[in-house]
Amino acid sequence: MNSPRKICIVTGTRAEYGLLYWLMKEIADDPELQLQIIATGMHLSPEFGLTYRQVEADGFVIDAKVEMLLSSDTSVGIAKSMGLGVIGFADALDDLNPDILVVIGDRFEILAATQAALVAQIPIAHIHGGETSEGAFDEGIRHAISKMAQWHFVAAEPYRKRVVQMGESPDRVFNYGAPGLDQLSKLGWLTRHELESTLEIELRAPVFLVTYHPVTLAGGDPVESMTELLNALKVFPDATVIFTYPNADAGGRALIECIDSFVAQHRKTSRAFVSLGQQRYLSLMREADVIVGNSSSGLTEAPALKKATVNIGDRQKGRLKAASVIDAAENCPDIMRAIQLALSSEFCASLPETVSLYGQGSVSQKIKATLKTVPLCVRKPFFDIEHGN
């Protein structure tokens, strides 16, 4: 009898884990596969909630923990964290010896893991490649990971074409949609009353769910952009505002201080959370009137829930956007205009017709089935596209 194929998944953030959850369940429940989990990055940081505990609370066993996140969000600190990550992943992968390493997205922790796997000759499967986010250095990381990976699971047809354009053979690129949408058909939803109890605030309309991350290639001071956002929120004094903290990117800690200051001044109408977890986050998104900020969830999950999104700045520039997404520049008047439009009766009436651009779910099952059968070979040809004269 053949040994189970060992599939190792790397997760470094709360949001990323939420996208991977059902794939991890699919692998864990398949007797022909062995799930391995490496936790790293923000999962292991007290400052960001020690969210590895949620992974364990969900019944998963973490096989290795790679400590790499320095208590610094400067460019130098991030680069040094990446170096520590490569060292840590080299040891973890040597111990676990997986058949395939599965990574998602575009964060620096994932780049470190992929580099270690590349030189260890471990085949890599990359989820969410081919996308663009011109305002962040995640853009370069994502494409670099794609070039190191053997197998690709993209979220939409334009992204499949882009990965092929990068020289990846079409028979290695699978367009199954965004795995995060699997949550919407399988999640145990919290009611509005249950949310109010766990969040310890009355969700009086309008409800704004706000997540704003540093725009790492913007060049300016992220605090200035956050200040513009907060000033726009003040224009809606009756709104209930729920913040989730930004990721551990360059400049993120300064944004946390801005959020905490805002909440301290608006205790009756606002709350901030290091991590809500997928159940609370998506349940709150379903109850919210507007999703505000620059998180990819405003472009992927929110339209699938037929919710309005105010997408601020260039962090998500280049990504596919449904009709429910309203773009706003990083200044108070434009953000205020966009929120007012999102709340207007005409715009709200159009939301039920929103079409998801990232698939219809059942993605994790398809990815798992493919991982079971792909050949375990690291060599791959460069695919040249024929161009007309």
Q: Are residues 56 and 197 in the same domain?
A: no
pLDDT in tens, 6-42: 999 999 988 899 899 999 999 999 999 999 999 999 8
% of the chain at pLDDT higher than 70: 96
Of the spans 46-50, 69-73, 237-241, which averages the highest pLDDT? 237-241
Same domain, 322 and 195: yes
Residue recorded with tokens 């959850």: 21
Q: Are residues 151 and 197 in the same domain?
A: no
Check whether residue 324 and residue 222 sit in a common domain.
yes
Position 216 scores a pLDDT of: 60
**Which residues are within 8 A (CB) of 185 and not within 5 positions of it... i.e. 6 or more apart?**
361, 362
Tell me how far apart the alpha carbons of residues 352 and 378 are, in angstroms, rounded to a whole number.
45
Same domain, 79 and 147: yes
**Structural domains in the chain (count):** 2
Nearest to 50 by CA among 205, 275, 336: 275
- Compute the mean pLDDT over every residue in the chain, rounded to the nearest whole number: 93
Which domain covers residue 330, as residue numbers? 185-353
Q: Answer yes or no: is 304 within a domain.
A: yes
Tell me: do 129 and 30 sit in the same domain.
yes
Q: Is 386 part of any domain?
A: no
Contact status, residue 325 vs residue 319, Cβ threshold 8 Å:
no
Token pair of 50, please?
């020690």
State mean pLDDT over 115-132: 97
Confidence at 268, pLDDT banded by 50, 70, 90? very high
Helix extents (H) in 154-251? 157-165, 182-186, 192-199, 222-233
- List the CATH number of the domain containing 53: 3.40.50.2000
What are 170-229's pLDDT values in tens digits?
999 999 999 999 999 898 999 999 999 999 999 999 999 999 988 766 566 888 999 999
Q: Is the pLDDT of residue 153 over 70?
A: yes
Does position 389 have pLDDT exceeding 50, yes or no?
Answer: no
Give the span between the Cα atoms of 61 and 343, in whole angstroms. 43
Q: What is the side-by-side order of every strand in the sheet holding 124-127?
A: 64-66, 33-40, 5-11, 100-104, 124-127, 151-154, 173-175
| Least confident stretch, 210-219, 241-250, 367-376 | 210-219
What pLDDT was estimated at residue 48?
81
How many angstroms separate the CA atoms of 316 and 296, rounded? 7
pLDDT tops 70 at residue 57: yes
pLDDT given at position 158: 95
Decide if 367 is inside a domain.
yes
pLDDT reading at 125 higher than 80: yes
Q: Answer yes or no: is 309 within a domain.
A: yes
Give 318's pLDDT tier (boundaries 50, 70, 90).
confident
Main-chain dihedrals φ then ψ at residue 359, nearest 5 degrees: 90, -175
User: Nearest 5°: CA angle at 296, between 73 and 298?
Assistant: 125
| DSSP secondary structure letter of residue 353 | G
Same domain, 63 and 165: yes
- If asked whether residues 220 and 337 sit together in one domain, one would say yes
pTM over 0.75: yes
Please report whether residue 384 resides in a domain: no
Does a structural domain hold residue 379?
Answer: no
Confidence bin at 132 (pLDDT 50/70/90): confident
What pLDDT sits at residue 104?
Answer: 96
Q: How far apart are CA 28 and CA 223, in angstroms?
A: 42
Contact 342, 326 (CB under 8 A): yes
